[in-house]
Amino acid sequence: MSLLTIILSILLPPLAVALKKGLGVDFLINLLLTALGWLPGVIHAFYVNSK
């Protein structure tokens, strides 16, 4: 994972997921998790970007 990906995962989790996986199911899940609370979105972004 690059430094840019780490920073984006913290600041804008849906953008970090979109850059890695595109605008698919993972992006929609992350968008929903981020809307429910910032921390779940960040955790999911790190999980998706670490695969």
Specify the pLDDT at position 4: 92
In whole angstroms, give the CA distance from residue 11 to residue 18: 14
Q: What is the pTM of this model?
A: 0.90
DSSP string, 1-51: --HHHHHHHHH-HHHHHHHHH-SSHHHHHHHHHHHH-HHHHHHHHHHHHH-
Specify the pLDDT at position 33: 97
Provide the domain count of the chain: 1
pLDDT in tens, 3-50: 999 999 999 999 999 999 999 999 999 999 999 999 999 999 999 999
Contact 26, 48 (CB under 8 A): yes
CA 23, 29, 30, 32 torsion-angle sign: positive
Specify the pLDDT at position 51: 80
* Residue range of the domain that includes 35: 3-50
